[in-house]
Structure 1
């Protein structure tokens, strides 16, 4: 039997990441995209989760890597909607067509281009 505390689903459903968390996530994703551009994917496949790799690949518009991961564009956007807006916010974001999530990635691409 595990000694871990039970998961508080009510708290998780109501949690909404703030602007600072979203900015930190974007900075991390942009930095990782720069690393992949400089060094390629090989050094990072075992280091980052598949979700993290998918976010970087989507940011880089690396369709070959997304295919290798089995991650279509919609899957990546849905995954990141949860990261950006929390459980409840992600459901609303998905219903709206993931417009905010796409805008967030567009801003990250602009950061990467600088």
Structure 2
């Protein structure tokens, strides 16, 4: 990506045609035509890279939990998958409701009854 400064010095001394060809070559291959410092080259390289949000190592860092959860819920609804833990929680809620231990519905709690 980076061409040495000596190469550019040779282009400066050469003919107009050679300089124009060097500039065209730099444009085609994405190189910088004018001599630049290492700090400026770092900026050029940063601008040539893909943005962080488009890099797969950044975007695919975490597994797709939400998509998997939605897919499993759909399969569970269709009867193709059985989540025993969810079934256990639903059963425990049902048993608590039968015993009268379930939380009250919205608007039927102690605080709501005080207002009436």
Higher relative contact order structure (alpha carbons within 8 Å, sequence separation ≥ 6)? 1
Q: Same fold (TM over 0.5)?
A: no
TM-score w.r.t. structure 2 length? 0.21
- The structure with the largest alpha-carbon Rg is 2
